[in-house]
Chain A
């Protein structure tokens, strides 16, 4: 890495995203738009594990999808490395896509049911023009702790936790600079959650990944993330280092979120 370039991987400035509100669409003409992200400004440093938290409808998933340009922002700027990507056309974006990848929330629907695991992981490699695809697929599977024999499995032949590992393998196989993980453990049972989180922690350490981890679960975020971005109604209410945020939350909304974490209490009396 060239230190002179910049140690920020993402610079987001005044990012605004809106969706058409079809329930209020008049018979003729366009539907009114609902502001989902109301001018967000923040940076992501290289090697950071950024937690994005907030309640339902706070815009956390939308922010993630805008950052990897699955959505078109209305206005504002997203600089990835040194490139402005907020308003790039899909054709111009395509060669850049190997640098930022995504792991999806629902591992069943994010894996094409008609492809075998090997093909699912090899697909992006092939599209981005990598060589030694077979070797890379094997490496990726090994990194997420799945045996090589799984290459010929179909997604429906895997358990939920195994599927999510395939999703992770697909993303890391490209050796991206940035990965967005969108609520990746919310669909899993508690023991698979722990396994996937351990795996992610290990990969962050070994590969030096820059990660954005979208979640509504602050205890998961606390364990994994170095910085936390708290969203509320499409605005950033707090952006702080993890320890700082947990010790000394500034915003009232952050305190509400922290109070909502269930804590094991050995002294609790069963009423």
Chain B
């Protein structure tokens, strides 16, 4: 009884191409920043301060996107800023995912006292205002890349735990779990080989979302000057500096903001696109 059901294939959609393309561009920019940057991102030139981007009047073609109030090249600073943004996105996002998803899977599948402890912890955690929590943590840990990553993991693991727990609970009630038990699979085996693959599309979608959020959190911390020392360019730091000269030089604020916006959007769209593409169950 062969029929057409086995022949349905799907192509990666437009959003996967667009979001993937922007992120690939960003990765390349981050890796090759020292080679492609037209200037040293820290080099100041007060005679070339607040130059507008190339299409405006009075622009200097050597500074493609203009300069900030200290005469530093915006394009070079953004390229170097991408390094930090991507590092934070990948490392903090992945670690948050690992911690949160593991706890969520334990709570949702094993239930019992483990669920009780983890769920109460999540409830308590979520009651803290996240930005203040982050500032408090950085104040305790000190500034620096590691502190930012730790802060993001400590604050945001609950996002994964809640969703993965709910999903694991609903998957755990399905008959294929009972049938794995009838087949003699152990509890751990069921959690890893039966439930996890079915929760994975949700985890991937959340992970990419979390990467976007990590970039925003880093930008927020840079904005309040709690991220990394000022001699390393970050998008958040650039936005903070641009704010002070918004009426004289709008480009200092707008370009990093736009890069941040595109990056966060791309991460979330990449997640959705991947979920659609890799899910064998047509939803």
Q: Residues of A with Cβ closer than 8 Å to B?
A: 68, 70, 90, 94-95, 97-98, 101-102, 104-106, 109-114, 123-124, 127-128, 146-147, 149, 152-154, 156-158, 162, 170
How near does chain A come to B193, taking the closest CB pair, in angstroms?
8
Contact in complex: B182, A70 (CB < 8 Å):
yes
B185 at the A interface (CB under 8 A): yes
Asked if B198 is an interface residue, CB under 8 A from chain A, the answer is yes
Q: How far is the CA of A67 from the CA of B268 in the complex (A)?
A: 48
| B180 pairs with A123, CB closer than 8 A | yes
- Other-chain residue from A106, A123, A149, A152 in contact with B2 (beta carbon distance below 8 A): A149
Check if A114 sits within 8 Å of B280, measured CB to CB: yes
- A147, B281: Cα distance in complex, Å: 22
* Cβ–Cβ contact A170 & B179, under 8 A: yes
Min CB–CB distance A172 → chain B (angstroms): 13
Q: Is A112's CB under 8 angstroms from B194's CB?
A: yes
* Residue of A95, A105, A106, A111 touching B184 (CB-CB under 8 A): A95
In the complex, residue of chain A having the shortest beta-carbon distance to the beta carbon of B194? A112
A98 to B184, CA, bound (A): 8
What residues on A are CB-neighbors of B194 within 8 Å? 112
Q: Is the CB of A111 within 8 A of B176?
A: yes
In contact, B183 and A127 (Cβ under 8 angstroms): yes
Q: How far is the CB of A215 from chain B (nearest CB, A)?
A: 17
| Known contacts A114-B281, A128-B183, then 7 further A-B pairs from the complex at CB < 8 Å, ordered by chain A residue | A101-B182, A105-B175, A109-B176, A113-B281, A127-B185, A149-B2, A156-B280
Count of inter-chain pairs, beta carbons less than 8 A = 77
In the complex, which residues of chain A have a beta carbon less than 8 angstroms from the beta carbon of B280? 113-114, 154, 156
A163–B87 alpha-carbon span in the complex (Å): 46
Chain B residues contacting A153 (CB-CB under 8 Å) are 5-6
Q: Whose C-beta in chain B lies nearest to the C-beta of A98? A: B184
Taken together as a complex, chains A and B put the C-alpha atoms of A98 and B181 apart, in Å, by 11
- Nearest Cβ distance between residue B178 and chain A, in whole angstroms? 6
A124: which B residues are within 8 A, CB to CB?
182-184
| Chain A nearest CB, measured from B163 CB (Å) | 18
Given A95-B184, A112-B198, A114-B197, answer yes or no on A158-B5 (Cβ-Cβ < 8 Å).
yes
* B184-210 contact mask (Cβ, 8 Å, vs A): 1 or 0: 111101000010011000000000000
B1 within 8 A of A: yes
- Which A residue sits closest to B187, measured CB to CB? A90
In the complex, residue of chain A having the shortest beta-carbon distance to the beta carbon of B173: A109
Residue of A whose beta carbon sits closest to that of B3: A159
Contacts A105-B175, A113-B198, A154-B280 given; does A127 touch B184 at CB 8 Å: yes
For this complex, 21 residue pairs linking A to B, each with C-beta atoms less than 8 Å apart, are: A70-B181, A94-B184, A97-B182, A97-B184, A98-B184, A102-B178, A102-B179, A104-B175, A104-B178, A105-B175, A109-B176, A112-B180, A112-B194, A112-B197, A112-B198, A113-B281, A114-B281, A127-B184, A128-B183, A149-B2, A156-B281
B179, B194, B282: most-surrounded residue (chain A CB, <10 A): B179
Residues of B within 8 A of A111 (CB): 176
